[in-house]
Structure 1
Amino acid sequence: MALTAVRPAADITPAPGLDPVGATPMMAQYIEIKAANPDCLLFYRMGDFYELFFADAEIASRALGIVLTKRGKHAGSEIPMCGVPVERSDDYLNRLIALGHRVAVCEQTEDPAEAKKRGPKSVVRREVVRLVTPGTITEDRLLDPARANLLLAIGRRKTGEGAVAYGLAAVDISTGRFSLSEVPAGDLAGAIARHDPREIVLSEAIHADPALTRIWQESRAAIVPLAQAELEPAAAERRLREQYGVSTLDGFGQFTRAEIAAAGAALLYIARTQLAARPPLAIPTREDPGATLAIDAATRANLELTRTLSGERTGSLLATIDRTVTANGARLLAEHLAGPLTNLEAIARRHEAVAHLVENGPLRAGLRDALARAPDLARALSRTGLGRAGPRDLAAIRDGLAAAADLEARLSAVPDLPEDLVRLAGHLEQVDADLIATLTAALADELPLSRRDGGFVRPGYHPEIDEARILGQDSRKVIAALQARYAEQTGCRTLRIKHNNLLGYFIEVPQSIGEACLKGLQSEFVHRQTMVDAMRFTSVELGALESKISGAADRALALEAAVFDDLTARILAGAETIAEVAEALAGLDVAASHAELAVELDWRRPVVDDSLSFVVVGGRHPVVEAALRRAGEPFIANDCDLSGDTRGRIRLITGPNMGGKSTFLRQNALIAVLAQMGAFVPAAEARIGRIDRLFSRVGAADDLARGQSTFMVEMVETAAILNQATRRSLVILDEIGRGTATFDGLSIAWACLEHLHEVNACRALFATHFHELTALGDRLARLENATLKVAEHRDGVVFLHEVVPGIAERSYGLQVARLAGLPGSVVARAGSILKSLEKAERGRPARARIDDLPLFAALAPPPPPEPPPEDPLGALLDAIDPDALTPREALDALYRLKRQRAGRG
């Protein structure tokens, strides 16, 4: 399978003429391995460096800013080369992965000494041990601890009448998460945006579909198309069965063909990138359709839920509300925010858990203190299952389980816990105390990063390791102790134990007493050599000691490796339970985070029910309020009521720029998101009827990369809203129609407002500068007008940021222009032009223009055209046949026409 990325930072292709014929043995080996991994940068291990050659070296040199050198020649040309130290390779890998590259890590799999035995020109065996790709990394130093590292695979099936549905398999091998879902074609972009994957795997056919081109262009993820022949449905199901060692998938639930196809594609890609390693994935769970609030990609971007429009986490809603103290909790919080719930019972359970922790401050503080001591249990467990764990990962599992035991003890002492906290505490009860004790006894206080470094087993845990260490570290003391004992036994104070490369360790005594020593200890000493002035002996004990000393370091490492393998096996035996504990820790962290936030910022519990209510009292924008608080300024809270069946389902908001319209619109959308994700909200009170879809069209930007203007982008996003919004949806629209000519924009905004009212019948906030639209408040039953209060002061204005019923009298554009620093002459000239335009408009007020047009609600065919007014002159002309008139008759006809005209005059 060719792992071809659609959008890598640079195309990776072998340099022309890479033929192993004529190459040195080492370079021939490199070319052969590179040919098997053509679409990856090849990290080729040579001693303490990973070297890159040919095109790979040129790409890596530019990407990493490292020196490009040369090494020999191939096919008559010098070979470009660059390299990175093995001990710092993770840093370089991180940079390459961030740029969209994939890297094949090629290690030496043979001792150089063994290679030499095959001949002086033999090359050390090397093999690619793994492919490092954006969606399959597991190393802590390459991962963002607060962000899930998802690989998203996509499958497709026909649903009848030409329609298709897409299956999504979201896999995070750094934690073992595995979920499946299916969405209709229209929701695919929104589903991808919700998962926010690092890498997307799909068939070549799906990738080549013209209808989906825009999705791939907009995605931040690396895109990897796979050959269709490798993604047969039967093969996909077989991979799933083999992954979990089952003969049927019935026990996992009912999956659609598209979901199974996506799961199979994900497992295929993971197998190809991880090679021999098999990640311990959780049993796939199926997300029910409609279980989460549908938010399309444009709305997510407009509302800046998890990142700002510039792509930064800082300044987003997620960064503002995050009070988690664990990495696993931070990732779960982001997942909850990306997919707020629609199930009322589940939402209520989350709110109840948060409320309990808000009211019980000591419990909340104790939980957060214990959680802060819990390392990233989920990722440490995943690395253990992949065989990539180090001693610190084992310690992380130990400390995570110990924190879980502490949390369970705290929760068990609290009566009347809410259902969610009871459920989470139940998972913590499964902690294996014996495993914690074993890991505590086995692991030293100071731990190396890699098991290969040794020294991680605690002294006293394994006697043979202690002995080997003593021999390796204190061999002189051991030899001196043996020498003293032999000297005492023989009575020879000049007895010495020495060492040379020929004999190794030996006992040496003066020749004058050598025979006496030999006679006295014949059973122990064996004569080795007689010198002019000395005799040399050995003993069985000394020979055994020499063997131990010479292999002490290697033996200590081997014994520690065995201990490591034993500890790993014990951990993996309880992997399923440990994974549940990790999930429980994350759930507790999120609930405690929401509670801490609510107490800190005075957020209140919302009511989410099955009505069509939307009442927010004293609502605030969480991100803007946080920014104002840092500046020492207050935030002006505002109410919002979109609940009425007769009035107010749509609020039409007018007012000046800088008055706060966009802030008001966004804050109500964010309050709805927070409420349905299970958090408290920045408001004095909130009652929200369950929302199924959230749409936001706020702000404008060109999309020149796709050849779309500001207005085109605006219309595309507005079209999606009008085509998909339901009665349960919440729609936020700001300045529709402002990107085109005034009357074009006014007519589009007018028609959109009527469509929302009559067809979508949804709850909506509609901000506009077209004051003419406010007259619709008397004609659309469920529409109410609101405006932002402004206080005029001398030649300027003060924006009060207060939303009140009514209509804005002016737009105050000139005042805003003056505040922005436009030259005074420009502002003055604009003022005179504005007066002229307003004077011309007074004879045709907005009320008359609105009344002249029927409502969109009528949806009736246009009336027949009215008959034209009588035209006597036209009738006379129609009666004349010029070709049949004589000159005299033509002159008479002309006189008749003149008389007729004179008579009309």
Structure 2
Amino acid sequence: MMQQYMEVKEQCQDKILFFRLGDFYEMFFDDALTASRELDLTLTGRAGGNKEKVPMCGVPFHSADTYIERLVHKGYKVAICEQMEDPKLAKGLVKRKIIKVITPGTITLENAVASKQNNYIGCLNEKEGILSMALMDVTTGECLWADCAASVMEDSLFDILAVYEPSELIYAHMGKDMDAVREYLRSHLAQCTVTEFPADDNVDYSEQARSYFPPEDFAAATAAGDCIGMLLDYVSDVMQSDISHINSLEHIDNDRRLVVDAASLRHLEITQNVRDGGRRGTLLDVLDKTQTAMGGRLLRKWLEAPLIRIADITRRQDAVEDFVLHEIMRQDTADVLNRIYDFERILTRIETGTVSPKDLVALRESLAVIPQLKNVLAGASADLLHNLNDRLQTHDDVYDLLCRGIKDEPGLVIRNGGVIRDGFSPELDEIRSIAANSHAFLQELEEKEKEKTGIKMKIGYTKVFGYYFEISHANTKPIPDYYVRKQTLVNAERYITPELKEFEVKVLTSQERMLALEYKLFGDIRRQIQGHIPAMQATARAIARIDCLYSLACAAYDNRYVRPSLNTKATISIKDGRHPIIEKYLKDELFVPNDVTLNHEDHEILVITGPNMAGKSTYMRQVAVLVLMAQVGSFIPAKEGSICPVDRIFTRIGASDDILTGQSTFMMEMKEVSYILKHATSRSLLILDEIGRGTSTFDGMSIARAVIEYCLKHIHALTLFATHYHELIAMADDSPKIKNYTVAVKERGKNIKFLRRIIPGGADRSYGLHVARLAGLPESLLKRADVILEDLEKNGGAPVPAKAPVNPAPSPMGDNLFSSPVIDKLLSVDVSSMTPIEAISFLYNLQKDAKEGSGIQ
């Protein structure tokens, strides 16, 4: 057996081998050491031919899915080696072979992949200077592709990797370029498993892939054809099953979608927050009211790749508005969608042979409500909803098959039976009847034989002779010819008849035959459904789109969003806009709305000044998020808005470094700025926050001013530029396209209050010390900072020499009256806002401080 194991292991050296032995999957040698560590299994040993025992651990085969899922999520690949014959019937060693391999990108287990998130496996291939990439979600049947010149790989490819986050990547013919890809994955997608694909130069991978997809879709993928074919070849080989359900091919087309690079998606918190990478506090979290997992996955893709063509956006807006205006239709749609399961992934499990009885029940219940959904949408007025309704099919043949074939509450696993409905198979009904009613059948047979022969008899059973008719010697009537003597006793003879023998065979093997027949019938049902999979996938995708439109409508209705108008004048005009994420999570105060105007005439660049924490970044992110929402087809949180679709949104916000690659905060900032200036166009929206702050003041200010000048002269993008360098407000005097805006602040002595309003004009200072005071820095430190600031301003920024602190002789009255901590505290408190108890407590503490300062006990 160990020799057989070693021969199988040779075929999968880079995988953990689950080797079937009876009721367990066993692992040996290094696989056992790894699995015991990662799965917290008990490590044992087994004789392997040498003096020392072979390391060994195992898991029950009926619960192996859970363990496989945990290993795959840790980045391991698992090979399943099954027994290919019944051990009871095998002569010698049971034959075994690898039936499938499960990898991070090909896992289809029910709970292994997040329901509202895609799980992509990617492929990279370089040919004649063109780099191609294919991405596939085997759980849904989708395939995406893109290509670019290898020289711009870092700009295009890395953005795609960051957005789609493949869990597994294969590559071929990449050469030295793969080193850069590996370095990127190491620092940004560490969980991605990377494997080299052994491409055969004699195989036409493009031609192999052609049959999977509609001809018109595949025709566009000329350069990427080989890459797509390699990925299909790899997935088919790993899964060891038919993968014809992969039939949707889509180009990652920057001409038809708004491109939001990875950094901007992160800064704007579109689908992942910046704190822990989760979805709480993201735009997706705010807008996701989807009722199905299919809709949830699609909405995420809509947010990551919004539309760019006004006609496409308008169609979505019309559908969203239809739902918003018709509450009954919206509620009825929710009631139906809530009863639809993730049958897009169920169809994949049907195709790959891993479907469970519970899956088929879920598919049946989903198909049952599609007619109701069609009835609801029949009353819609939006063209897109009518189009989607026409694409919904009821699949009556499949629904009827599932109703006839599968019980209402079947067993959890097919191997335990109890799945096929009574009446579906006469043969199965008979076996079940025999197993359940064997005693009644025997009584009925006994009475029938007594009546037929006129002989008194009884039916008996022994383990040695089986079932028999016992006739005593007192019965003198002739015994029929079809009675075969089986045993002679002192007072009686025992006989068997063909009918009794047939019953004996059936009853003694009924349980085994029943399970085998149920398994066969379940497989027949699965194969009959396979022919309908492409049509049902189209229905599932239509349902996902309906769910997304419903979700956007619910968010609009619940949060008081309005429909923005679309224009072709390169203008963004929003009145009383609100940040959709912040206003949802703001608990103690109302969100302050703000206006924005951007155009190429007199508002091309807005220079925004004001203190930290006043709302500059929020305002700029808000503009970007509202534009993105509008191009998704969503309504926006504003009083009104008119938006011209932009081709790209770029953001440079926040401070972060990259420790893994040794890049400082300032270097990261400059690289992001470089990327933006290289790719932005006059149709882009730029959000630039605090450019130049990671270096010295004059260096930073110089860079900031030069960036604004470059944007004004070469790019002409609509730009929001926030800065602490209030000296930059003078640039508005030199160009009519630059406008100054600032955050309204209310000053009161050395304290300030943020009003959160963006108003025309520029700030004449940065309010840094005011913000430091709000943060609670020691008052003595702030006073020293005031002195340093005053000297710096007098000296034009020249450094101030440090002075030794002067220690005046202590006075019997303590510190000077007008600079003591007691006076500072007294001046800082708002007496009119204090309660009597707070005033007494404050006075008590003040007196205590005064006594300590004067030395009085």
Matches within 5 A, 1:312-391: 312-391=278-357
1:188 and 2:157 are equivalent in the alignment: yes
Deviation at 1:243, TM superposition (A): 4.8
- Report if aligned partners of 2:792, 2:798 keep a CA contact under 8 Å in 1: no
Structure 2 letter corresponding to 1:435 = V
Deviation at 1:340, TM superposition (A): 0.7
Q: Deviations over 1:643-673 (max 9, x none)?
A: 2x33211111111111111111111111111
Map of 1:507 onto structure 2: 469
Map of 2:397 onto structure 1: 434
Identity %: 37
- Report if aligned partners of 2:340, 2:366 keep a CA contact under 8 Å in 1: yes
Measured in 1, the distance between the counterparts of 2:130 and 2:578 equals 39
- Report if aligned partners of 1:371, 1:589 keep a CA contact under 8 Å in 2: yes
Map of 2:844 onto structure 1: none
Would the alpha carbon gap of residues 183 and 291 (structure 1) be closer, same or farther in structure 2, given more than 3 Å must change? farther
Matches within 5 A, 1:247-258: 252-258=217-223
1:129 and 2:99 are equivalent in the alignment: yes
Structure 1 letter corresponding to 2:597 = D
Structure 2 letter corresponding to 1:173 = V
Would the alpha carbon gap of residues 250 and 353 (structure 1) be closer, same or farther in structure 2, given more than 3 Å must change? closer
Deviation at 1:299, TM superposition (A): 1.4
Deviates more, 1:560-569 or 1:575-584: 560-569
- Report if aligned partners of 1:611, 1:690 keep a CA contact under 8 Å in 2: no
Q: Deviations over 1:514-544 (max 9, x none)?
A: x43xx35524533221212443222222111
Deviation at 1:426, TM superposition (A): 0.6
Deviation at 1:45, TM superposition (A): 1.7
Measured in 1, the distance between the counterparts of 2:179 and 2:414 equals 50
- Secondary structure of the 1:705 match is coil
Map of 1:224 onto structure 2: 194
Map of 1:692 onto structure 2: 647
- Report if aligned partners of 2:742, 2:763 keep a CA contact under 8 Å in 1: yes
Deviation at 1:736, TM superposition (A): 0.9
Query: Which of 255, 259, 264 lines up with 1:299 in the alignment?
Result: 264
What is the TM-score of this pair, normalised by structure 1?
0.84
Q: Deviations over 1:821-871 (max 9, x none)?
A: 333333333233233323434999xxxxxxxxxxxxxxxxxxxxxxxxxxx
- Secondary structure of the 2:562 match is coil
Q: Which has the larger radius of gyration?
A: 1
Map of 1:472 onto structure 2: 435
Map of 2:850 onto structure 1: none
Measured in 1, the distance between the counterparts of 2:267 and 2:479 equals 92
Map of 1:61 onto structure 2: 36
Query: Which of 528, 531, 553 lines up with 2:489 in the alignment?
Result: 531
- Report if aligned partners of 2:101, 2:238 keep a CA contact under 8 Å in 1: yes
The count of aligned residue pairs is: 793
Structure 2 letter corresponding to 1:198 = S
- Secondary structure of the 1:358 match is helix
Matches within 5 A, 1:139-288: 139-158=109-128, 164-184=129-149, 185=152, 186-203=155-172, 205=174, 208-220=177-189, 222-227=192-197, 230=199, 232=201, 235-241=204-210, 243=212, 252-288=217-253
Would the alpha carbon gap of residues 210 and 138 (structure 1) be closer, same or farther in structure 2, given more than 3 Å must change? closer
Map of 1:757 onto structure 2: 712
1:651 and 2:620 are equivalent in the alignment: no
1:748 and 2:714 are equivalent in the alignment: no
Deviation at 1:252, TM superposition (A): 4.4
The root-mean-square deviation of aligned C-alpha atoms, in Å, is 2.4
Measured in 2, the distance between the counterparts of 1:778 and 1:292 equals 37
Measured in 2, the distance between the counterparts of 1:419 and 1:329 equals 19
Measured in 2, the distance between the counterparts of 1:80 and 1:451 equals 33
Measured in 2, the distance between the counterparts of 1:54 and 1:68 equals 10
Deviation at 1:213, TM superposition (A): 4.9
Q: Deviations over 1:153-184 (max 9, x none)?
A: 223344xxxxx443222211111112333345
Measured in 1, the distance between the counterparts of 2:726 and 2:594 equals 22
Measured in 1, the distance between the counterparts of 2:176 and 2:290 equals 38
- Report if aligned partners of 2:414, 2:519 keep a CA contact under 8 Å in 1: yes
Deviation at 1:150, TM superposition (A): 1.4
- Report if aligned partners of 1:181, 1:289 keep a CA contact under 8 Å in 2: no
Matches within 5 A, 1:450-849: 450-486=413-449, 495-509=457-471, 511-513=472-474, 515-516=475-476, 519=477, 521-628=479-586, 631=587, 633-643=589-599, 645-841=600-796
Measured in 2, the distance between the counterparts of 1:29 and 1:798 equals 77
Deviation at 1:615, TM superposition (A): 1.2
What is the TM-score of this pair, normalised by structure 2?
0.88
Structure 2 letter corresponding to 1:805 = P
Structure 1 letter corresponding to 2:113 = L
Map of 2:838 onto structure 1: none
Deviates more, 1:702-711 or 1:206-215: 206-215
Measured in 1, the distance between the counterparts of 2:23 and 2:584 equals 49
Q: Deviations over 1:558-601 (max 9, x none)?
A: 33234323322332222221111111110110000110110000
Map of 1:901 onto structure 2: none
Would the alpha carbon gap of residues 632 and 507 (structure 1) be closer, same or farther in structure 2, given more than 3 Å must change? farther
- Secondary structure of the 1:610 match is coil
Map of 1:858 onto structure 2: none
Structure 2 residue ranges without an equivalent (≥5): 800-857
Q: Deviations over 1:458-511 (max 9, x none)?
A: 223323222211222332333344345445667777x432222211111234x3
Map of 2:824 onto structure 1: none
1:88 and 2:43 are equivalent in the alignment: no
- Report if aligned partners of 2:459, 2:469 keep a CA contact under 8 Å in 1: yes
Map of 2:826 onto structure 1: none
Measured in 1, the distance between the counterparts of 2:112 and 2:673 equals 39
Deviates more, 1:595-604 or 1:281-290: 281-290
Map of 2:839 onto structure 1: none
Would the alpha carbon gap of residues 842 and 242 (structure 1) be closer, same or farther in structure 2, given more than 3 Å must change? closer
Measured in 2, the distance between the counterparts of 1:359 and 1:704 equals 51
Deviation at 1:695, TM superposition (A): 0.6
Deviates more, 1:181-190 or 1:384-393: 181-190
Map of 1:47 onto structure 2: 22
Deviation at 1:87, TM superposition (A): 2.7
Measured in 1, the distance between the counterparts of 2:178 and 2:495 equals 84
Would the alpha carbon gap of residues 263 and 219 (structure 1) be closer, same or farther in structure 2, given more than 3 Å must change? farther
- Report if aligned partners of 2:361, 2:408 keep a CA contact under 8 Å in 1: no
- Report if aligned partners of 2:187, 2:661 keep a CA contact under 8 Å in 1: no
Query: Which of 370, 384, 390 lines up with 1:420 in the alignment?
Result: 384
Query: Which of 345, 360, 366 lines up with 1:394 in the alignment?
Result: 360
Measured in 2, the distance between the counterparts of 1:243 and 1:381 equals 16
Would the alpha carbon gap of residues 654 and 104 (structure 1) be closer, same or farther in structure 2, given more than 3 Å must change? same
Would the alpha carbon gap of residues 753 and 456 (structure 1) be closer, same or farther in structure 2, given more than 3 Å must change? same
Structure 2 letter corresponding to 1:698 = I
Deviates more, 1:724-733 or 1:104-113: 104-113
Map of 1:900 onto structure 2: none
- Report if aligned partners of 1:190, 1:294 keep a CA contact under 8 Å in 2: no
- Secondary structure of the 1:615 match is strand
Measured in 2, the distance between the counterparts of 1:831 and 1:486 equals 115
Measured in 1, the distance between the counterparts of 2:175 and 2:595 equals 46
Measured in 1, the distance between the counterparts of 2:280 and 2:733 equals 44
Would the alpha carbon gap of residues 390 and 169 (structure 1) be closer, same or farther in structure 2, given more than 3 Å must change? same
Q: Deviations over 1:40-66 (max 9, x none)?
A: 111112222222221112222222222
Map of 1:861 onto structure 2: none
Measured in 1, the distance between the counterparts of 2:281 and 2:498 equals 74
- Secondary structure of the 1:331 match is helix
Measured in 2, the distance between the counterparts of 1:637 and 1:761 equals 27
Deviation at 1:819, TM superposition (A): 3.0
